[in-house]
């Protein structure tokens, strides 16, 4: 596949720390390609989302075509191809959470943030205008005993009620 | 009441058990040391086989047997620890990773020693950020203490463990999907054979094992096979002469959620009944049990008539369900089964990897059928069709009766059975995700048919009382065909 289809705006590069981490990562696998997921996670942590520039950079690092990287990025729900809010709120809505009223939590979040729910193909739909939050529904987060649960970026919050959601949102740094 | 027997979870709440020092104080790594001091690798593999350990990740396949398929003359061999835990209703691995990661490392060490493996990848689902952090920290400590790295504890063994994050795809829990994902590709399962034991990650022999399975190894080695086999039932298969022993030994980390008062993980001997487990989990929240999902959302549902089924691999298989990952979801009388099925089908429609046509198109199709039933648009046809039978004159012929057909229910069963047929247990797909779709779809519909019919007839979701919603045992296909296994000792 030709790489030219992808418009590259500003080139992307790992910062010092991530470069070091990447160098350590790559030694773990007999083939470079296997470092794909950890590398993409690192890149997303730095860039916020996987832009075409990031894909190009990762492809060069792993000696693959850009299409190969895009192929992988599109498969996994945790990689974003568009900018997302500073805080990504993932609301679990699979059966055990549904049995414990995750709908109430979701509706509350929607009203409170004044946004819709993001679609995997349209993240902007669930992102607040100030770019602070992205609200998404996700499948089982493996915490069914403390349902309903949400994740705010990397942190899990348990046994939620609308009041608890308010508290959590209030204590997030700006 | 059945008592909890905490073995894997014994020290879960001990403060700082995640650090090497505290873990060491509680016998940490002594079992690995015992293994290398007292046993040859092959002996460990034999012990695991004799102990009857079955995989805790889903398939329930004998671990010792799986190890015996691995060719020992091909180098290198790999171990992949499956910490992808994404089956709805399952959450026991998470606590091991977050609270007692050294136990997993010890299990991995024993497996590596037994199989002559030098490299282990722990595939952790992307959302387990805390679990990965804790495990990474523990691995670092283990390197410092000389349990990992080159020449482990002066034995000449080289063992490395690396964690590898997933990125939110359920199908990467399937062993070949996991392998593809580990190799840096889309997590699309491979055709089998060749099985991973022969050609797995990087096309080398690979052992794929769940976290809980590996955590059992230190205790089998430490306390011996005899001690281990005392826990849980050993059934006998009388079709063989002499009867063949079918062990369901050890404890299981039962994850119970939904309508119970104290949801959580309970470590109990295999083989207790559904009713007993609900009692252990603080009893039912509500008046009556309507349904129980016994092994993660992929397992066929059990009705209140089937609550005496023992929760172990053999009993549940013979009851036409499965223990799977041991995620038990309880539903009380207020739940609507159509609504529950809709939720589960949305999950599967989202998670299909899209390789096989029956799964890629069939799963959303099943979801759409359930969706329109739930929305009140379910299709019902009333027709007069020649219903053949014995007529009044005593001859075989057209009885002239009018039949009411629930077109959508027939369609639902048809589509689901064409992804994977639950009656013949054959599937038209690459991986058994197909079965995981059609099992719930068909079993919910057949066992709670009155509720589905009511939704179509009334044009809205109707939650019937438990007795009315459930198909009686005489008409319940699974209940009719179920077999209660016999204890080996009784044969
Ligand atoms: C669709 C699907 C999803 C699966 N998800 C998981 C999972 O999340 N965790 C797991 O340990 N096994 C999962 N399995 C089972 C694995 O394929 C495999 O049987 C297991 O990891 C083997 O380890 P064990 O023998 O220790 O159980 C899944 C299987 C299928 C078909
Ligand atoms: S059955 Fe479904 S999930 Fe499995 S390989 Fe085929 S398309 Fe993918």
Contact A97/A84 with Cβ under 8 angstroms? no
Chain B residue numbers with beta carbons less than 8 Å from the beta carbon of A40 are 167
For chain A, state the CA radius of gyration.
18
Same domain, B320 and B358: no
Q: What are the tokens at A37?
A: 């997921």
pLDDT of the residue at B489: 83
Distance CA B117, CA B229 (A): 27
Which of B12, B127, B352 is the mutation pick for testing A, counting most A CBs within 10 A?
B127
Report whether pLDDT(B344) > 80.
Answer: yes
For residue B264, what are the β-bridge partners? B256
The string of pLDDT tens digits covering residues B319-340 is 999 999 999 999 999 999 999 9
Does residue B193 sit in the same domain as residue B120? yes
- pLDDT band with cut points at 50, 70 and 90 for residue B94: very high
Shared domain for B324 and B437, answered yes or no, is no
Residue B385: what pLDDT? 61
Q: Domain A2-75 maps to which CATH number in 3.40.50, 3.30.70, 1.10.10, 1.20.120?
A: 1.10.10
Percentage with pLDDT > 90 across chain B:
85
In this predicted structure, what is the pLDDT of residue A1?
A: 47
Say whether residue A147 is in contact with chain B using an 8 A CB cutoff. Answer: yes
pTM for the whole thing? 0.93
- Helix B30-38 with B211-223: angle, nearest 10 deg: 60
First to last CA, chain A: 42
Two tokens, residue A23: 């160098």
Q: Encode pLDDT of B286-322 as tens digits.
A: 999 999 999 999 999 999 999 999 999 999 999 999 9
pLDDT at residue B455 tops 90? yes
* pLDDT tens profile B142-195: 999 999 999 998 889 999 999 999 999 999 999 999 999 999 999 999 998 999
State the Cα–Cα distance between residues B266 and B3, nearest whole angstrom: 10
Does residue A160 carry a pLDDT above 50? yes
Determine the pLDDT at residue B414. 93
Q: Is the pLDDT of residue B467 over 70?
A: yes
- Is pLDDT above 70 for B257? yes
Place of tokens 């306390």: B223
Give the residue extent of every domain in chain A.
2-75, 87-171
Backbone phi, then psi, for B341, in 5-degree steps? -65, -40
Q: How far apart are CA B455 and CA B444, in angstroms?
A: 14
DSSP B183: T
Query: How far is residue B491's CA from residue B477's CA, in Å, rounded to a whole number?
Result: 27
C-alpha–C-alpha distance, residues A77 and B476, integer Å: 39
Asked if the structure places residue B363 within a domain, the reply is: yes
Same domain, yes or no: B184 and B317:
no
Domain-located, residue B413: yes
On whether both B151 and B94 belong to a single domain, the answer is yes
Does the beta carbon of A92 lie under 8 angstroms from any beta carbon of chain B? no
CB A119: neighbour CB atoms within 10 A?
12
Which residues does residue B62 pair with via DSSP β-bridges, in sequence order?
B54
Pocket test for ligand 1, best of B56, B87, B169, B173 (most atoms within 8 A of CB): B173
CA–CA distances in Å: residue A78 to residues A71, A74, A92, B115, B165: 14, 9, 14, 34, 11
What is the pLDDT, as a whole number, of residue B383?
A: 65
At B477, is the pLDDT very low, low, confident or very high (cuts 50, 70, 90)?
Answer: confident
Q: Ligand 2: which residue has its CA nearest to atom 8?
A: B353
Interface touch B297/A79, C-beta < 8 Å: no
- Please judge whether A72 and B185 are an interchain contact, meaning their C-beta atoms are less than 8 angstroms apart: yes
We report the CATH number of the domain holding residue B451 as: 1.20.1440.230
Residues B57/B90, Cβ–Cβ less than 8 Å: no
Q: Indicate if ligand 2 lies below 6 Å from the C-beta of B430.
A: yes
DSSP run (H or E) holding B447? helix B433-447
Ligand 1: centre distance to CA B175 (Å)? 6
Residue A2 has pLDDT above 60, yes or no: no
Give a yes or no: residue B435 inside a domain: yes
Q: Based on the number of CB atoms within 10 Å of its own CB, is B240 exposed (0-12), middle (13-18) or buried (19 or more)?
A: exposed
Residues of A in contact with B265 (CB under 8 A): 145
* Average pLDDT score, chain B: 93
CA–CA dist A37, B16 (Å, integer)? 31
- Contacts of residue A74, Cβ cutoff 8 Å, sequence gap at least 6: A81
Give, for B470, the enclosing helix (H) or strand (E). none
Would you say residue B48 lies in a domain?
Answer: yes
Residue B482: pLDDT over 90: no
Sign of the four-CA dihedral B388, B389, B393, B394 = positive
Residue A165, pLDDT score: 95
Report the alpha-carbon distance of residue A115 to residue B395 in Å, rounded. Answer: 68
pLDDT for the residue numbered A6: 55
- Nearest-angstrom CA–CA distance, A20 and A113: 38
CA of B64 to the centre of ligand 2 (A): 28
The last residue of a domain, from among B199, B230, B261: B230
Q: In angstroms, what separates the C-alpha of B225 from chain A's closest C-alpha?
A: 32
* B3 within domain boundaries: no
More reliable by pLDDT, A25 or B1: A25
Task: Establish if B351 belongs to a structural domain.
Answer: yes
Which two structure tokens, joined as six digits, stand for B365?
């199709």
Rounded mean pLDDT, A71-95: 95
How many residues are listed for chain B in this entry? 491
User: Per-residue confidence at B390, pLDDT binned at 50, 70, 90?
Assistant: confident
Cα–Cα dist B256/B263, whole Å: 5
Backbone angles phi, psi at B200, to 5 degrees: -115, -120
Whether B165 sits inside 8 A of A37 (CB atoms) is: yes
Please tell me the total count of domains within chain B: 3
User: Are residues B210 and B312 located together in one domain of the fold?
Assistant: no
Among B112-121, B344-353, B385-394, B403-412, the minimum mean pLDDT is found in B385-394
Same domain flag for B472 and B345: yes
Phi then psi dihedrals of residue B46, to 5 deg: -65, -40
Establish if A138 touches chain B: CB-CB under 8 angstroms.
yes
pLDDT-derived band at B478 (thresholds 50, 70, 90) equals: confident
- For ligand 1, atom 30, the nearest C-alpha belongs to B174
Side-chain-side CA neighbours of residue B140 (13 Å): 8
Segments forming the whole domain that contains residue B309: 251-332
Domain assignment present for B102 = yes
pLDDT above 70 covers a percentage of chain A that reads: 95
A110 interfaces chain B, CB cutoff of 8 Å? no
CATH of domain A87-171: 3.40.30.10
A143 touching B (Cβ < 8 Å): yes
B394 assigned to some structural domain: yes
Query: Beta strand pairing status for B160-165 and B119-124?
Result: parallel
Ligand 1 centre distance from Cα of residue B58 (Å): 5
Q: Give the lowest-confidence range in B177-191, B229-243, B428-442.
A: B229-243
ipTM rounded to 2 decimals: 0.93
pLDDT value at residue A7: 57
Q: What is the DSSP string of A34-99?
A: GGHHHHHHHHHHHHSS--HHHHHHHHHHHT--HHHHHHHHHH-TTS-SS---SEEEEEE-SHHHHH
Give the pLDDT score at B404. 73
């Amino acid at each position: 596949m030709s790489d030219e289809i992808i418009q590259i705006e500003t080139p992307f590069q790992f910062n010092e720390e991530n470069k070091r981490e990447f160098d350590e990562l790559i030694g773990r696998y007999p083939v470079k390609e296997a470092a794909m997921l950890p590398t993409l996670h690192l890149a997303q942590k730095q860039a916020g989302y996987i832009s075409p520039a990031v894909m190009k950079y990762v492809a060069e690092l792993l000696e693959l075509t850009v299409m190969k990287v895009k192929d992988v990025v599109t498969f996994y729900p945790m990689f974003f191809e568009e900018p997302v809010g500073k805080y990504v709120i993932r609301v679990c809505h699979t059966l055990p959470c549904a049995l414990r009223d995750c709908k109430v939590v979701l509706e509350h979040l929607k009203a409170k943030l004044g946004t819709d729910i993001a679609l995997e193909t349209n993240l902007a739909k669930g992102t607040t205008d100030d770019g602070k939050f992205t609200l998404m529904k996700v499948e089982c987060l493996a915490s069914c005993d403390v349902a309903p649960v949400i994740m705010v970026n990397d942190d899990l919050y348990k046994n939620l009620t609308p009041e608890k959601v308010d508290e959590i949102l209030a204590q997030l740094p700006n | 009441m059945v008592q909890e027997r905490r073995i894997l979870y014994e020290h879960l709440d001990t403060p700082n058990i995640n650090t090497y020092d505290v873990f060491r104080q509680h016998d940490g790594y002594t079992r690995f040391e015992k293994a290398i001091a007292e046993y040859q690798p092959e002996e460990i593999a034999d012990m695991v086989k004799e102990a009857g350990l079955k995989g805790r990740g889903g398939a329930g396949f004998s671990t010792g047997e799986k190890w015996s398929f691995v060719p020992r003359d091909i180098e290198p061999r790999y171990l992949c620890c499956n910490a992808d835990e994404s089956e709805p209703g399952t959450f026991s691995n998470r606590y091991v990773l977050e609270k007692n990661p050294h136990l997993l490392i010890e299990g991995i060490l024993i497996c590596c020693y037994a199989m002559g493996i030098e490299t282990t990848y722990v595939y952790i689902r992307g959302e387990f950020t805390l679990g990965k952090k804790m495990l990474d920290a523990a691995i670092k400590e283990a390197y410092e203490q000389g349990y990992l790295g080159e020449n482990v504890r002066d034995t000449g063994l080289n063992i490395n463990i690396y964690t590898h994050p997933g990125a939110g795809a359920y199908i990467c829990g399937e062993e070949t999907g996991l392998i593809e994902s580990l190799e840096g590709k889309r997590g699309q399962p491979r055709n089998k054979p060749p099985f991973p034991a022969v050609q797995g990650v990087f096309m080398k022999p690979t052992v794929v094992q769940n976290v809980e399975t590996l955590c059992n190894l230190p205790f089998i080695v430490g306390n011996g096979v005899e001690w281990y086999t005392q826990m849980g039932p050993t059934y006998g298969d009388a079709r063989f002469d002499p009867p063949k022993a079918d062990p369901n030994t050890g404890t299981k980390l039962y994850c119970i959620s939904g309508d119970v008062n104290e949801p959580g993980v309970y470590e109990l001997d295999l083989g207790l009944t559904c009713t007993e487990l609900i009692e252990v989990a603080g009893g039912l929240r509500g008046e009556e049990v309507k349904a129980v999902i016994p092994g993660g959302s992929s397992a066929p549902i059990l009705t209140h008539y089937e609550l005496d089924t023992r929760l172990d691999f053999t009993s549940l298989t013979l009851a036409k369900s499965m223990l799977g990952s041991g995620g038990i979801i309880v539903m009380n009388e207020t739940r609507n089964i159509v609504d529950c099925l809709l939720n589960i089908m949305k999950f599967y429609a989202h998670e299909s990897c899209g390789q096989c046509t029956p799964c890629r198109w069939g799963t959303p199709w099943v979801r759409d059928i359930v969706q329109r039933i739930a929305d009140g648009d379910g299709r019902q046809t009333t027709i007069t069709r020649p219903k053949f039978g014995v007529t009044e004159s005593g001859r075989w012929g057209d009885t002239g009766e009018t039949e009411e057909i629930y077109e959508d229910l027939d369609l639902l069963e048809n589509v689901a059975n064409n992804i994977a047929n639950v009656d013949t247990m054959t599937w038209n797909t690459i991986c058994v995700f197909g079965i995981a779709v059609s099992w719930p779809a068909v079993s919910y519909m057949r066992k709670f048919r009155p509720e589905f019919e009511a939704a179509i007839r009334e044009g809205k979701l109707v939650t019937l009382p438990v007795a009315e919603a459930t198909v009686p045992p005489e008409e319940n296909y699974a209940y009719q065909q179920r077999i209660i296994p016999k204890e080996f000792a009784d044969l």
